[in-house]
Structure 1
Amino acid sequence: MSLKSGRSRSSTGTPSILKKNSTLKKRLSELVNASPKVRFQLPHAKKVQTILSEYIQTNDPKQYLSLVCFIRDAELPDKDISDLLVEATECISLLNQDLRLFVEALLSVRWTDRNETVVTEYQSFIVNLLSAHNYHTKIVIDSLVSQFLPGQTRVNGQLSQVITTNYVELHKLINILLKVVPMSKDFLRQSIIKYYPYYNKPLIFQQSYLKNLLSIIRYQPSFRPDILHLIFSKLVIMDVNAPKEIIEQKMEDEDMFPMDDIKSVKTIQTTYTLVDRGELGTSLDTCMDMVLDYILEECNDDQGNLDWSKTKNLYRDLVSVFDKVVLPTYGTHHVQFIMFVLCSLKPALTEAFLNHLWRNVCDLNVPVVLRQAAVSYVASLVARALFVPLSMLKGTLQQMAEWIHSYAAHQDGLDSVNTDVRVHLVFYSVCQSLFYIVAFRHKDLVASRKDVAFLQSLQLGKMVTGRLNPLRVCQPAVVKNFAAVTRQYQLAYCYTVIDHNERNNLPTIHQDGKGARLISDNLLTDFFPFDPYILEQSSRKVQPHYRDYHEEMWSHSSEVDHKENQEDDDFLDNSHEFTSTNARNKFSYGSSPGFKFKA
């Protein structure tokens, strides 16, 4: 019996131990998962002013640090925050630099999503604080700007209405500070640069921050040049890191597998982070759409009519930013279309922009690389923009032709000509631009006999047969299309020169500034900045003003005969027996100037 009862006690003892463990786990779980509901109650029931005064007098940090940690770490309800702000406002005079921790603790409180009373009292406290102690201006401005970045409140990756409403109160306070504390302007300029999100941050960060920067421009127009410069700089970084082929691949993947969550390889590993270039293209698309919306809103009045005065002012700011940020950057695909859309608003803007670019081309004080880029912008804009009229097209070609002939005449007057491509880069770039425009828009230039006579007056034959031989260094696609057009309308015969260049096509070997040996193929860059715009969302503002390339095939029987009469080692595969077609050319971006020539 004793043995049996012993078994019984042991069997009942084991469940009791398990029960205790289970209870302990449950209590720990409840403690961890419980949301903190801390009510505001100052240590020892003392008011804020009393604690701060005692800290200043005795230098005893115990209660002071306890108060700071409490404000910073506790989840305070609206009523307690309101009481705290009222007490803090009563002792504004005490909040010198020695109480910086207390001020920082108050700044850490999220106030924009609180009730109206808290928002009003917080704004009043900040204004009173900086009016009395402007040395807190920097940390206050940094705190406000840091809230441009969203917290946890989001709806499917988009800005929620709650966040947008909160930003209104945030900007109301910033606007007041800019008026009350003049030094806050400099700190705001520094802060918006400091907190701008890294280019590979998720879309919600880019969208939120850009929205807030554009909001600042609306109530503080004096900030516009600086903010536009910052925005363009960041968009350029996004643009060059999101190549067109990656964006196109992402679009194709989404079309083929719309329900799959399989990511194709579109990432690159940098020194510090992994960048998803496909998602980067989506962020760029959204940001471009927001900037274009701002431009259209800024240039139009409430009735949707163009406000010419505001448009001119915006044009001046954008041209300045374009010269400093976009023009010197090679390989951008989309950011420059901001100028494209702006120019589409009125012909006077287009003419002003073309003249501005041409002045850069002709200015000997401008670096050669920028002169090259400027003439590429001229050619690409004239070729692609539907809003460029025939008169402007002819005027641009006339300017280019006169410059080319003047430059060539000066070289012909010399006893010897340096044929190094690097010496005449601007000349060759202007020639390539003219050839590109003629090939791209030849239909507009041969509509009547008067137009053909204008083309003849450009003396294209003299250009291609000059001593500098521009066909030798221009992009092959440009050369072949230009040769086909000029032969068709008997403006010049380029094939003899092309054959000669192919026979004498040797690479050039030279040394750079550090003594390294470089091999050059002696070809100009193929950068034409207004090649097709492929971002889906923002393209709706670009496409109505954009000219797509429609390939036109030519019959070159005489050229084929000419080739066949040459020796075998001079023969190139140039079968140009094509029929006429108007199908849209789907060309390779980045590797062609906007069209291709079948060979």
Structure 2
Amino acid sequence: MASLVATSETPRPPQAKPEFLTPRAVPLSRKDGTPFGTPSPSSTSRATINFVEVLSEARASRTLSEKYRLIVASVKFIHTGVKPPQLIPPLQLLNELSKMTSLLDGFNEMLVSELLKCKPLTLEQEVLKAYLSVLVELGRSNAFHHEEICRQLLSAMASIDTEESPQDRLDLVHGAIQRMLKELPHFQDALLKQVSKCLPFMAKPWQQQVHMYRQMLRVVDYVPAQLALEVLARLVHKIIDLDCHCPKEEMLAAEDTAEEPVTQFPMDAVPGDSGASGKDESDTASPAGHPPTAVDTSMKHPLGNTLDRLMELFLEYINGHMAELDDAKATYRRFLAVFDKYIMATYKCLHIQFLMFYICSKRPLFADHLIDFLWHKVQNPNTSVVFRQMAVAYLGSLLSRAGYVSVGTLKDTLSLLARFLHGYLAQTSSAHSLGVDVNRHATFYAVCQSLLYCVAFRHKDVVASNGGLDFLRGLNLEQLITSPLNPLKVMSRPIAMNFANVSRHYQIVYCHAIIERNQRSALPMAQVGYGSHGDQITFGQSSQYSTVIESYFPFDPYVLTRSQRFIAPIYRHYVDHLSTPDADEDDNADEDDNADEDDAEEIDTAKEGLGGRTDDVESGRRNIEIIRERISTTSTSPEVPVAMSVTSASGSLGGQTAEKLLSYSVSPGFVR
């Protein structure tokens, strides 16, 4: 007989099933809004749906049951607004789906696809919260959907076509992104892939562009530091593409202000700038140090207007992150990294680099660091020549154009540049035979051009400082100018001429004679002689073509109208302090004297070559006058402008008359 043994153990209560496995009755609604459970003659469906059973059955059997079709139709109603005969209320539907996202794979991808077609910002706030909860849970349960979810969230930010945006709903979208970044580390990769894809094309309306970039800058503020740098880099890279599609000449022509081409010195005037006339534009800043109020104007150039609006957005973003030192440093480091990787590597971008120009104006520490950063690139032999040239171009342009760069910083940097050049000459002269060679000495010429550019641009500030004139003379510029490398020969002519005027005014070095000699020697030479009957005889063409180094200075005048309010108060325009009538007359007189001296040298050379025969010399002089008359007659033709330089008669005439073999050089298309 079996006996029952009592034990001290109490029976365990039955464990509760997980919530997502617990069948819940979800009331259905008819098209008229009445609950589906109420009696109706046309009602044939059940009053409740067990989501776990329906989704599991669909995944296992790969068949679409009536209840499954009802769920899909209810999801479609959320993004299409087309109400099916029977409907599960959206809020209840989304709440149920958020609890069983682990079942939304395989065959249920069709349901996921319908979920991702919704437009979040069109939903009511409570429904939007439930929808975003579904997306977050879906990302947690399956990493395969990360890119699709990220694309859905970023596309929601770009779906606003007007300036009025539902800020409360955007806050919810940003909150969902923050949750996924915090809980799902791999979501960062998906976000980085989708940023560039979700940015609007450059031809889209500027309102849509500004709205999307504003939201992405907000993303930069709350993502991890490295991800923030990568996102910012992609935003700036897109603006660089836009900047390269907005030539300055086209924008000026669209504004009907393109009176003259833009160059380094004489053409600094741009619309709305009074700095070209010598007026200090720092007075336009507000007393609190903030930029002036934006002018409600739009540029006529479509892409230029979009670029202007985006530059204004980024400058406002920078201005808003400069109050606290730590935040300012973090912002500076991000933009410096982007500047180094993308902006400096872009050939002749026009406006995007002014982001760094503006950041450096906020704190002297930033300006000094950028100057030091550029200078280390210039003198680093491991840096490619192209980047060394670009770095020194940015350095020279920053020193010249930035109103916040002090004279002390300018003088210190000019001393570094001059010391580098003199050291280069000393090292090169001991190893190679010196001569004009742009390919071999590209860095030397670029540094020399930036040095002379800064001297010509800010000579008045330097001379007005304590010991300024002695400082200029201490740079020993004469040794650089008269060196065998002959930098004036390959330098941009406007820079060379302006420096020549400045150096002559302060009696530092006299460059005009060197420039004129370089100009003659750099002409392409077509050797032409005259026979006994005055017929032209072409002997051949020499290869004396001059090579001029690139004269790109990144901080040339800023022409965007709306965002100019940030740049104008800190920008220095060129003022020609030496452009006076007396100075012009002196220049012309010196040029005439130089020309007379050159002619005298040519006649003396001819006399020596003829062994002192006065008759032949006089005959040569008369032939020179005849040739000059022909030159003046030919050069006045409006169709074929030419310039000719007389070559001296050599000592190898061998008794022949100078009339037969005297030659001159022809340079078609060159206008002196």
Q: Normalised by the shorter chain, which TM-score bucket?
A: 0.7 to 0.9
Query: Paired residue for 2:127?
Result: 118
How far does residue 200 in structure 1 lie from its aligned partner after superposition?
Answer: 2.6
CA–CA separation in structure 2 for the residues paired with 1:407 and 1:41 = 89
How far does residue 150 in structure 1 lie from its aligned partner after superposition?
Answer: 2.0
How far does residue 220 in structure 1 lie from its aligned partner after superposition?
Answer: 1.7
Q: Secondary structure at the match of 2:331?
A: helix
Q: Among residues 273, 276, 291, which one is paired with 2:314 in the alignment?
A: 291
Query: Is the Cα–Cα contact under 8 Å of residues 503 and 570 in structure 1 kept in the other structure?
Result: no
Q: 1:409 to 1:48 in 2, by over 3 A?
A: farther
Q: 1:55 to 1:405 in 2, by over 3 A?
A: same
Query: Is the Cα–Cα contact under 8 Å of residues 141 and 188 in structure 1 kept in the other structure?
Result: yes
How far does residue 69 in structure 1 lie from its aligned partner after superposition?
Answer: 5.8
Q: Please state if 1:367 is matched with 2:384.
A: yes
- Write the letter of the residue equivalent to 2:573: D
Query: Paired residue for 1:551?
Result: 576
Query: Is the Cα–Cα contact under 8 Å of residues 112 and 166 in structure 1 kept in the other structure?
Result: yes
Query: Is the Cα–Cα contact under 8 Å of residues 123 and 173 in structure 1 kept in the other structure?
Result: yes
5 Å-filtered alignment, 1:372-451, equals 372-414=389-431, 416-447=433-464, 450-451=467-468
5 Å-filtered alignment, 1:166-245, equals 166-222=169-225, 223-245=227-249
Query: Paired residue for 1:95?
Result: 104
Q: 1:124 to 1:150 in 2, by over 3 A?
A: closer
CA–CA separation in structure 1 for the residues paired with 2:302 and 2:32 = 41
Query: Paired residue for 1:531?
Result: 556
How far does residue 79 in structure 1 lie from its aligned partner after superposition?
Answer: 8.7
Q: 1:94 to 1:389 in 2, by over 3 A?
A: same
Q: 1:51 to 1:486 in 2, by over 3 A?
A: same
CA–CA separation in structure 2 for the residues paired with 1:440 and 1:570 = 38
CA–CA separation in structure 2 for the residues paired with 1:520 and 1:62 = 83
CA–CA separation in structure 1 for the residues paired with 2:176 and 2:393 = 45
Query: Is the Cα–Cα contact under 8 Å of residues 241 and 277 in structure 1 kept in the other structure?
Result: no
C-alpha deviations, 1:25-58, integer Å up to 9, x for none? xxxxxxxxxxxx9989999466371542332243
CA–CA separation in structure 1 for the residues paired with 2:414 and 2:189 = 46
- Write the letter of the residue equivalent to 2:315: L
Query: Is the Cα–Cα contact under 8 Å of residues 129 and 172 in structure 2 kept in the other structure?
Result: no
CA–CA separation in structure 2 for the residues paired with 1:311 and 1:211 = 19
CA–CA separation in structure 1 for the residues paired with 2:98 and 2:235 = 37
How far does residue 471 in structure 1 lie from its aligned partner after superposition?
Answer: 0.2
C-alpha deviations, 1:209-229, integer Å up to 9, x for none? 211111111222422210121
CA–CA separation in structure 1 for the residues paired with 2:191 and 2:524 = 53
Query: Paired residue for 2:95?
Result: 86
Query: Paired residue for 1:282?
Result: 305
- Write the letter of the residue equivalent to 1:180: E
How far does residue 447 in structure 1 lie from its aligned partner after superposition?
Answer: 1.5
CA–CA separation in structure 1 for the residues paired with 2:569 and 2:325 = 21
Query: Is the Cα–Cα contact under 8 Å of residues 246 and 277 in structure 1 kept in the other structure?
Result: no
CA–CA separation in structure 1 for the residues paired with 2:181 and 2:222 = 10
CA–CA separation in structure 2 for the residues paired with 1:95 and 1:40 = 29
CA–CA separation in structure 1 for the residues paired with 2:176 and 2:545 = 58
C-alpha deviations, 1:506-552, integer Å up to 9, x for none? 469xxxxxxxxx99741111211000111111111111100011233
How far does residue 240 in structure 1 lie from its aligned partner after superposition?
Answer: 0.8
Query: Is the Cα–Cα contact under 8 Å of residues 375 and 433 in structure 1 kept in the other structure?
Result: yes
Q: Among residues 47, 55, 78, which one is paired with 2:49 in the alignment?
A: 47
Query: Paired residue for 1:104?
Result: 113
- Write the letter of the residue equivalent to 1:280: L
Question: TM-score, normalised on structure 2?
Answer: 0.69
Query: Is the Cα–Cα contact under 8 Å of residues 39 and 80 in structure 1 kept in the other structure?
Result: no
Q: Please state if 1:75 is matched with 2:81.
A: yes
CA–CA separation in structure 2 for the residues paired with 1:457 and 1:140 = 65
- Write the letter of the residue equivalent to 1:460: L
C-alpha deviations, 1:282-332, integer Å up to 9, x for none? 1111111111111111121xxxxxx22222222222211111101111111
- Write the letter of the residue equivalent to 2:187: S
Q: 1:445 to 1:61 in 2, by over 3 A?
A: same
CA–CA separation in structure 2 for the residues paired with 1:550 and 1:491 = 20
C-alpha deviations, 1:489-515, integer Å up to 9, x for none? 00000012112101210469xxxxxxx
Query: Paired residue for 2:6?
Result: none
- Write the letter of the residue equivalent to 1:213: M
Q: 1:415 to 1:86 in 2, by over 3 A?
A: closer
Q: Secondary structure at the match of 1:502?
A: helix
- Write the letter of the residue equivalent to 2:338: V
- Write the letter of the residue equivalent to 1:429: A
CA–CA separation in structure 2 for the residues paired with 1:122 and 1:438 = 64
C-alpha deviations, 1:72-129, integer Å up to 9, x for none? 3641689932132123234334223331221121122223333232122222222333
Identity %: 31
Query: Is the Cα–Cα contact under 8 Å of residues 217 and 224 in structure 1 kept in the other structure?
Result: yes
Q: 1:353 to 1:39 in 2, by over 3 A?
A: farther
C-alpha deviations, 1:122-175, integer Å up to 9, x for none? 222223333333332222112111222125x52xxxx2133x443211101111
C-alpha deviations, 1:339-382, integer Å up to 9, x for none? 00010011121111011001111111111111101000011000
Question: TM-score, normalised on structure 1?
Answer: 0.77
Query: Is the Cα–Cα contact under 8 Å of residues 177 and 184 in structure 1 kept in the other structure?
Result: yes
- Write the letter of the residue equivalent to 2:317: Y
Q: 1:180 to 1:205 in 2, by over 3 A?
A: same
Query: Is the Cα–Cα contact under 8 Å of residues 437 and 485 in structure 2 kept in the other structure?
Result: no
How far does residue 487 in structure 1 lie from its aligned partner after superposition?
Answer: 0.2
CA–CA separation in structure 2 for the residues paired with 1:38 and 1:109 = 24
Query: Paired residue for 1:579?
Result: none
Query: Paired residue for 1:562?
Result: 593
- Write the letter of the residue equivalent to 2:49: K
Q: Please state if 1:468 is matched with 2:485.
A: yes
CA–CA separation in structure 2 for the residues paired with 1:48 and 1:507 = 90
- Write the letter of the residue equivalent to 1:234: K
Q: 1:326 to 1:520 in 2, by over 3 A?
A: farther
> Which one has a larger percent helix, Structure 1 or Structure 2?
1
5 Å-filtered alignment, 1:125-136, equals 125-136=134-145
RMSD: 3.0
Query: Is the Cα–Cα contact under 8 Å of residues 475 and 524 in structure 1 kept in the other structure?
Result: yes
CA–CA separation in structure 1 for the residues paired with 2:471 and 2:391 = 25
State how many pairs are aligned.
496
Query: Is the Cα–Cα contact under 8 Å of residues 74 and 90 in structure 2 kept in the other structure?
Result: no
Query: Is the Cα–Cα contact under 8 Å of residues 74 and 88 in structure 2 kept in the other structure?
Result: no
CA–CA separation in structure 2 for the residues paired with 1:114 and 1:66 = 20
Query: Paired residue for 1:147?
Result: 156
Q: 1:561 to 1:59 in 2, by over 3 A?
A: closer
User: Relative contact order (C-alpha < 8 Å, sep 6+): which is higher?
Assistant: 2
Query: Is the Cα–Cα contact under 8 Å of residues 137 and 184 in structure 1 kept in the other structure?
Result: yes
CA–CA separation in structure 1 for the residues paired with 2:628 and 2:94 = 88
CA–CA separation in structure 2 for the residues paired with 1:242 and 1:72 = 43
How far does residue 253 in structure 1 lie from its aligned partner after superposition?
Answer: 8.4
Query: Is the Cα–Cα contact under 8 Å of residues 155 and 198 in structure 2 kept in the other structure?
Result: yes
Q: Which moved more, 1:491-500 or 1:384-393?
A: 491-500
**Which consecutive unaligned segments of at least 5 residues does structure 1 have?**
1-36, 255-275, 301-306, 509-517, 574-598
CA–CA separation in structure 2 for the residues paired with 1:419 and 1:288 = 42
- Report which of the two structures shows the higher radius of gyration computed on alpha carbons: 2
Q: 1:504 to 1:167 in 2, by over 3 A?
A: same
Q: Please state if 1:341 is matched with 2:358.
A: yes
Query: Paired residue for 1:477?
Result: 494
